[in-house]
């Protein structure tokens, strides 16, 4: 795991978190794995950066792969893709979220503290500086999928690449999930335990091009 | 007599109407509705039509129409309170200007003036009835007396100061009396405020009753539920919002203080014996696997049962929590203390549903008295209240309001720090199974209004570490919620008035400092997972002293969630809805094999019956004339009931009221007396049917439940072992194609295969008439139903309909050749038999008929369209014997198909059942 100070460039030698020697040992006999629900990326509102409406907070902590998560706009809607979801329903949900994002981009300051509201008054309703370092990832909608659902998310994302006024970005990530190891037979003397598992995850960001 | 609509006085205008704003408005409306037109002869010039003029006239008319439509919309009769969003509207037709938001109040007042809306303050209304007049007179007298007294004391204060009590002399200060908790007996509900006492004679209010009564539909005053006034559902529309808040975004909270808590204390061996005889017999609980549970860091939730003359019978679901043992004294202390090792004294809490509370309490008292040394049972119903939360925002809402009381590192509680580190958890199911957290919290009103919880930097890694390691066992101390003294201290939290005063003295925005007057509030948090695994949301249950629930609830309802909004309030209906969406049975409604569940069912029957009786004869279902096809008439059993008596061949039971408890569990005498005393005698006549002490001891009490594991074992067993007679299993059904089940719907199995009478191979030709079996049903009924199952490959399920569609119509104006062809085609495709049999004889409009009564296996107890599944699902109970027979005969795949037909309807729909 890399610390925030040692930000290695892409392609540099870096110990992989899923090297063979890091693989999990097989579960003991007579046990089985019960998956806990996957952690959901927290939806955070920051009050500091109200003017740019950008969430900078999770930029400071890197991923387990040493990857800095791109900042998220406050209005970003996260859609979790399940493998059983239908394609059209996902497309509709993305469209709806995009529409509401377009409407809300006019900049609502509701729920912000007074100082931030006053600060927002001074700014001429401008979009964040396009040349800034963080401008490339302010997705309006993010589709998140793991495992079997990855294909579905990619398909939905691909269907949006055909549209001129939308931009689609795909990112891969690793998510950590917790598994319970349970004894199958009731009379077993051992206790249940828990362990960590790495899950590959894909994020499809969709946003308005203009 | 003056009409309400006419304001007083005033002269009349030209048309004889008084000139006022109301008439002005009428003029405005009339004007808006008036659409101007141009006569068409204007466009005619010498008999010729001037097209330009004509077109511009029509254009003008269309404009006028559009303008009028817009105007009508603008001047229509909306009142300003209708602009308030629905969630903020507390009362649907609020005409009171004070009730609308401040910015709208001026406008609302103006509208009221225009409309001449009567404004009456109920307080100042002249009494109309004799009783009200007497009451008003008494009030007046009392007020006079109070004034007099006040004057007197004031005079005394002015005059003689030295007469005050001598201080510090012969005054003995004692601690304030604590409410009594009697052992092995039921306790009284808390004494209500005198203002509200008369309304709580037959029931108890929840600590948040006044809050809920304004925002939710409550049980009606003379028919409380389980002796409580319980919020049923929110007054605002809430079905879909609840679904969303519980699964995707937000949180739903319930005040479930009506849930009953029982404390048991005594030796650990005795408690183990009692729990074992209540049905906690799994070895996993009592060997090394159950160590954590017995240490008090995990809970156990399941169905308790009791021993009866003819086998075991379920009581209801309960949660059992052990109090951790006090840390062992160090070795030198042991030596100095008594040499004989004291038997460890333990304490447990049993939390159960109020509908089965009395049954469980009786059973516990009986068992506790039978132990040596004796155990003691405490009724903690009104000592401990609880709040339940579900949804992705539930954890952050709890984090936002509960702050640990002890913050210095020396005194900090381990559980409190674990709890604080849960920031970022969006599902309590991601905690270890059955996790418990117990700590002391600050009064949440000190930091009111609650602030959003911030997730610390790099919180994700520490959170995962906490979730895996779950360090709750270091220096475990007994939980203070088990301690009567700390519960009592917590219930003496300062009044809202004093909190307000302190807040006023404080700097704005600063949390109020904790003083000696603020007691720590003992909190017990239980995290439970949904019965169905996967990504479904788990539930938080917070137990706290009864008196603290209100303060916590007010803060909880104002917590600003990060996803926007506040936690929603939920009622009983929402609880049922969420259980249904998770596909789990809801107690007591879906547990007809328990006394509480059967009572619920009998009440529902009575309610449906009275609803049915109230309808005019022409507008209600006539059960006898229901046509089930193939000449079968009449509903099977009682159409208004989940008629398990009919299914299992038991004698008919009667209304729950009329039965008397005859040969129930022998009750120990003092407890019995207390219980008889507990429901006041008036209650028996009061018409409600919720008295927990009344249980219909009738034939249906012999229905027993076969659990999922027991049933699976029966299915696997090679020999033809049979489940006990009159036993049922609870199932969850999912409809395969269409259809929505309602409660009381009938569940059939697929009709059995016809007896093999294979005719010789000459059956290549189609038989002229469909074979009718001796029962009057088509012999291929089973195949007809199985054809409804969409095949895995194509997913095309309307092949049968296509095949049955009639001949193509003869197209108009075709030549002879084509006509001949079409005729020939139509002759070939004509459905056989050719004149079709009478309606509802072999099928219902192409839909297969329902099977016969001998294929009836059960009833639906809850059914609706499930928003989480996107199709209809249902929960019901089916006869274990018949289900097992079907599974053995036809295999697991086909054996699990069933046909669900709503009561009073003749069409059934195909579904598949799964055990729950």
State the Rg of chain B over Cα: 35
pLDDT over 60 (residue B663): no
Quick one: closest CA in A to B534, which residue? A37
Helix axes B357-370, B669-677, angle to 10 degrees: 160
pLDDT computed for residue B721 by the predictor: 81
A20 contacts chain B (CB < 8 A): no
A96 touches chain B (CB under 8 A): no
Residues of A in contact with B563 (CB under 8 A): 43
- Which chain A residue shows the shortest CA-CA distance from B288? A189
Least confident range from A149-163, B32-46, B321-335: namely B321-335
B425 contacts in chain A (CB < 8 Å) = 39
**A60 → chain B, closest CA residue:** B457
Q: pLDDT tens digits for B261-299?
A: 999 999 999 999 999 999 999 888 888 888 899 999 999
Strand pairing of A141-146 and A193-208?
antiparallel
CA dist B81 and B97 (Å) reads 8
Looking at the complex, report in whole angstroms how far the Cα of residue A130 sits from the nearest Cα belonging to chain B: 27
Classify residue B597 as left (phi > 0), alpha (psi -120 to 50) or beta: alpha
| Contact call for residues B296 and B323 (beta carbons, < 8 A) | yes
| pLDDT single digits (tens) B473-489 | 888 899 999 999 999 99
Nearest to A176 among B429, B464, B533 (CB): B464
Q: What contacts B510, CB < 8 A, 6 or more positions away? A: none
**Which of B86, B44, B93, B37 is closest to B65 using CA atoms?**
B37
Mean pLDDT over residues A195-204, rounded? 89
Mean pLDDT of A162-188: 84
Interface test with A, best of B464, B466, B566 (most A CBs within 10 A): B464
Q: Which of B322-336, B416-430, B810-824 bottoms out in mean pLDDT, i.e. has the lowest?
A: B322-336
**Where are the domain boundaries for CATH 3.30.70.1400 in chain B?**
260-325+343-382
A44, closest residue in chain B (CA to CA): B562
Residue B731 reports pLDDT greater than 60 = yes
Looking at residue B736, its pLDDT comes to 92
| pLDDT reported for residue B690 | 41
DSSP state of B256: -
- Least confident residue range of B505-519, B595-609, B833-847: B833-847
| Highest-pLDDT range among B288-292, B341-345, B513-517 | B513-517
Q: From the CA of B400, how many Å to the nearest CA of chain A?
A: 14
CA closest to B459 among chain A residues: A61
Contacts of A45 in chain B (CB under 8 A): 452, 562
CB within 8 Å: A37 and B284? no
Determine contact: A40 vs chain B, CB below 8 A: yes
Residue B526 pLDDT greater than 70, yes or no: yes
pLDDT at B761 over 60: no
Dihedral, B780, B786, B790, B793 alpha carbons, nearest 10? -90
- By Cβ distance, the residue of A35, A61, A191 closest to B458 is A61
Backbone angles phi, psi at B452, to 5 degrees: -65, 140
The answer to whether the CB atoms of B562 and A43 lie below 8 A apart is yes
Least confidently predicted of A14-18, B305-309, B506-510, B682-686: B682-686
Task: For B709-722, write each residue's pLDDT tens digit.
Answer: 889 989 888 777 88
B536 CB neighbours in chain A (<8 A) are 37
Mean pLDDT of B337-352: 76
Q: Does the structure show a pLDDT above 60 at A106?
A: no
User: Are A191 and B292 a contacting pair at CB < 8 A?
Assistant: yes
pLDDT at B15: 53
More reliable by pLDDT, A16 or B597? B597
B430 interaction partners in chain A (CB closer than 8 Å): 36-37, 39, 178
What one-character DSSP code corresponds to residue B394? H
A178 touches chain B (CB under 8 A): yes
Q: Which residue has the higher pLDDT, B789 or A71?
A: B789
CB contact under 8 A, A44 and B455: yes
Distance CA B452, CA B441 (A): 17
- Given this model, what pLDDT does residue B548 score? 94
How many other C-beta atoms can be found within 10 angstroms of the C-beta atom of residue A48?
A: 11
CB B350, CB B364: distance < 8 Å: yes
A191 touches chain B (CB under 8 A): yes
Are A40 and B392 a contacting pair at CB < 8 A?
Answer: yes
The pLDDT tens digits for B603-629 are 999 999 999 999 999 999 999 999 888
Say how many C-beta atoms besides its own lie within 10 A of residue B573's C-beta.
Answer: 17
User: Taking residues B377-399, what's their average pLDDT?
Assistant: 94
Residue whose entry in the numeric block shows the structure tokens 């002890």: B406
If you average pLDDT over every residue of chain B, what do you get?
Answer: 82
CATH class of B260-325+343-382: alpha beta
Longest dimension (CA), chain A: 69
Query: Which chain B residues are Cβ-neighbours of A38 within 8 angstroms?
Result: 535
Least confident range of A57-66, A164-173, B181-190: A57-66
User: Predicted confidence band at B347 (pLDDT cuts at 50, 70, 90)?
Assistant: very high
Inter-chain residue contact A194 with B468, CB threshold 8 Å? yes
**Most confident residue range from B84-98, B338-352, B592-606:** B592-606
pLDDT at B387 over 90: yes
pLDDT of residue B360: 95
Residues on B contacting A at a C-beta cutoff of 8 Å: 282-284, 287-289, 291-292, 392, 424-427, 429-430, 432-433, 452, 455, 457-458, 460-461, 463-464, 467-468, 470, 533-536, 538, 560, 562-564
CB B221 within 8 A of CB B416: no
Q: Do the chains contact at B289 and A191, CB–CB below 8 Å?
A: yes
A192-201, B211-220, B245-254, B859-868: range with lowest mean pLDDT: A192-201
pTM value is 0.79
Whole-number percent of chain B with pLDDT over 90: 44
pLDDT band at residue A20 under the 50/70/90 scheme: low
Find which of B426, B453, B537, B709 to mutate to test the A interface (most A CBs within 10 Å of its CB).
Answer: B426
Burial class (CB in 10 A: 0-12, 13-18, 19+), B796: exposed
Q: In this structure, what token pair is assigned to residue B152?
A: 């007197």
Identify any residues that bridge with A32 across adjacent strands, giving them in sequence order. A182
Chain A from 61 to 90: CB within 8 A of any B CB: 61, 64, 82
For residue B810, what pLDDT is reported? 73
Residue B737 DSSP class: S
pLDDT at B831 over 70: no
Least confident of A84-93, B73-82, B177-186, B768-777: B768-777
Torsions phi, psi for A121 (to 5 deg): -65, -40
Q: What is the pLDDT of residues B142-168, one digit of tens each?
A: 999 999 999 999 988 776 555 445 555
Question: What local confidence, expressed as pLDDT, does residue B673 receive?
Answer: 38
- CA distances to B192, B607, B609, B625, B627 from B617, rounded to whole Å, are 46, 18, 13, 13, 18
For residue B199, give the nearest of B170, B228, B238, B235 by alpha carbon.
B228
Q: How far apart are CA B909 and CA B891, in angstroms?
A: 21
Give mean pLDDT, residues A173-190: 80
The confidence score (pLDDT) of residue B840 equals 74
């Amino acid at each position: 795991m890399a610390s925030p100070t040692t930000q290695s460039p892409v392609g540099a030698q870096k110990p992989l978190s899923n090297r063979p020697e890091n693989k999990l040992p097989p579960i003991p006999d007579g046990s089985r794995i019960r998956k806990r629900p996957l952690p959901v990326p927290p939806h955070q509102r920051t009050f500091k950066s109200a003017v740019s409406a950008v969430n900078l907070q999770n930029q400071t902590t890197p991923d387990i792969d040493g990857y800095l998560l791109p900042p998220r706009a406050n209005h970003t809607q996260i859609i979790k893709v399940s493998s059983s979801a239908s394609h059209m329903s996902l497309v509709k949900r993305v469209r709806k979220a995009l529409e509401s994002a377009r409407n809300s981009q006019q900049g609502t300051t509701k729920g912000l503290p007074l100082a931030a509201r006053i600060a927002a008054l001074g700014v001429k309703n401008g979009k964040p500086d396009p040349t800034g370092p963080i401008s490339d990832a302010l997705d309006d909608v993010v589709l998140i999928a793991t495992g079997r659902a990855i294909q579905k998310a990619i398909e939905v994302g691909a269907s949006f690449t055909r549209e001129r006024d939308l931009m689609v970005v795909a990112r891969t990530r690793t998510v950590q999930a917790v598994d319970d190891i349970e004894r199958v037979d009731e009379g077993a003397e051992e206790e249940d335990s828990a362990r960590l598992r790495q899950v590959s995850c894909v994020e499809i960001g969709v946003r308005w091009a203009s | 007599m003056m009409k309400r609509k006419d304001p007083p006085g005033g002269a009349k205008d030209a048309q004889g109407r008084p000139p006022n704003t109301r008439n002005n408005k009428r003029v405005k409306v009339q004007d808006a509705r008036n659409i101007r037109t141009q006569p068409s002869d204007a466009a005619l010039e010498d008999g010729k039509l001037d097209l330009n003029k004509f077109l511009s006239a029509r254009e003008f008319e269309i404009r006028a129409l559009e303008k009028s439509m817009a105007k009508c919309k603008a001047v229509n009769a909306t009142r300003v309170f209708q602009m308030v969003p629905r969630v903020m509207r507390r009362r649907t037709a609020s005409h009171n200007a004070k009730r609308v938001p401040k910015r709208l109040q001026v406008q609302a007042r103006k509208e009221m003036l225009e409309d001449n809306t009567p404004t009456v303050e109920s307080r100042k209304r002249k009494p109309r009835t004799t009783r009200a007049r007497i009451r008003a007179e008494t009030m007046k007298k009392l007020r006079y007396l109070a004034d007099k007294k006040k004057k007197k004391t004031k005079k005394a204060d002015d005059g003689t100061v030295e007469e005050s009590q001598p201080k510090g002399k012969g005054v003995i200060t004692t601690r304030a009396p604590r409410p009594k908790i009697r052992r092995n007996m039921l306790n009284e509900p808390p004494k209500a405020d005198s203002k509200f006492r008369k309304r709580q004679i037959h029931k108890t209010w929840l600590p948040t009753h006044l809050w809920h009564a304004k925002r939710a539909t409550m049980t009606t005053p003379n028919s409380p539920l389980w002796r409580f006034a319980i919020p049923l559902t929110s007054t605002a529309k809430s079905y879909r919002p609840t679904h969303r808040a519980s699964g995707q975004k937000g949180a739903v909270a319930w005040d479930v203080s009506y849930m009953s808590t029982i404390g048991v204390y005594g030796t650990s061996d005795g408690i183990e014996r009692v729990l074992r005889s209540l049905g906690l017999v799994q070895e996993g609980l009592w060997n090394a696997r159950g160590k954590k549970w017995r240490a008090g860091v995990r809970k156990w939730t399941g169905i308790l049962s009791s021993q009866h003359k003819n086998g075991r019978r379920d009581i209801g679901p309960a949660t059992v929590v052990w109090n951790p043992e006090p840390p062992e004294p160090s070795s030198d202390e042991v030596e100095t203390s008594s040499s004989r090792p004291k038997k460890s004294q333990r304490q447990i809490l049993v939390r159960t549903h109020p509908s089965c509370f009395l049954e469980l309490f009786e059973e516990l008292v009986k068992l506790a008295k039978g132990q040596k040394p004796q155990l003691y049972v405490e009724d903690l119903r009104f000592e401990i209240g609880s709040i339940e939360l579900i949804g992705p925002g539930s954890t952050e809402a709890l984090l936002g309001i509960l702050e640990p009381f002890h913050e210095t590192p020396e005194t900090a509680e381990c559980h409190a720090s674990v709890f604080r580190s849960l920031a970022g958890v969006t599902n309590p199911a991601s905690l270890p199974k059955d996790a418990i957290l117990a700590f002391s919290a600050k009064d949440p009103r000190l930091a009111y209004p609650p602030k959003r919880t911030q997730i610390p930097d790099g919180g994700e890694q520490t959170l995962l570490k906490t979730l895996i390691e779950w360090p709750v066992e270091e220096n475990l101390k007994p939980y203070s919620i088990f301690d009567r003294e700390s519960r009592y201290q917590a219930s003496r939290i300062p009044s809202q008035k004093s909190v307000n005063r302190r807040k006023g003295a404080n700097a704005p925005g600063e949390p109020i400092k904790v003083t000696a007057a603020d007691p720590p509030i003992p909190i017990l948090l239980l995290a439970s997972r949904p019965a169905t695994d996967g990504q479904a949301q788990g539930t938080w249950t917070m137990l706290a002293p009864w008196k603290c629930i209100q303060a916590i609830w007010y803060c909880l309802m104002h917590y600003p969630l990060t996803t926007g909004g506040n936690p929603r309030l939920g009622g009983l209906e929402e609880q049922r809805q969420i259980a249904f969406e998770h596909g789990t049975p809801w107690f007591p409604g879906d547990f007809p094999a328990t006394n509480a569940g059967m009572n619920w069912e009998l009440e529902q029957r009575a309610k449906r019956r009275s609803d049915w009786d109230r309808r005019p004869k022409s507008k209600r279902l006539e059960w006898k004339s229901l046509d089930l096809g193939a000449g079968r008439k009449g509903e099977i059993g009682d159409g208004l009931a989940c008629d398990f008596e009919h299914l299992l061949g038991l004698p008919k039971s009667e209304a729950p009221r009329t039965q008397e408890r005859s040969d129930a569990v022998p009750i120990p005498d003092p407890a019995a007396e207390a219980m008889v005393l507990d429901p006041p005698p008036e209650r028996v006549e009061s018409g409600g049917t919720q008295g927990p002490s009344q249980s219909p001891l009738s034939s249906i009490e012999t229905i027993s439940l076969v659990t999922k594991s027991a049933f699976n074992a029966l299915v696997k067993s090679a020999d033809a072992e049979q489940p006990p007679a009159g036993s049922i299993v609870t199932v969850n059904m999912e409809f395969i194609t269409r259809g929505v089940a309602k409660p009381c719907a009938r569940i059939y199995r697929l009709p059995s295969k016809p007896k093999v009478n294979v005719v010789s191979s000459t059956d290549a030709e189609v038989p002229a008439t469909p074979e009718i079996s001796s029962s009057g049903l088509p012999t291929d009924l089973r195949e007809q139903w199985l054809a409804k199952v969409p095949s895995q490959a194509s997913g095309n399920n309307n092949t049968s309909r296509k095949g049955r569609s009639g001949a193509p119509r003869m197209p108009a104006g075709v030549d002879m050749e084509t006509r001949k062809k079409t005729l020939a085609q139509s002759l070939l495709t004509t459905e056989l038999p050719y004149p079709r049999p009478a309606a509802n004889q072999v099928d219902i409009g192409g839909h297969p008929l329902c099977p016969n009564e001998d294929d009836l296996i059960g009833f639906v107890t809850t059914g609706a369209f499930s928003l989480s599944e996107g199709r209809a699902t249902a929960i019901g109970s089916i006869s274990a014997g018949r289900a097992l027979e079907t599974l053995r005969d036809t295999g697991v795949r086909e054996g699990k198909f069933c046909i669900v037909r709503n009561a009073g309807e003749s069409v059934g729909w195909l579904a598949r059942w799964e055990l729950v």
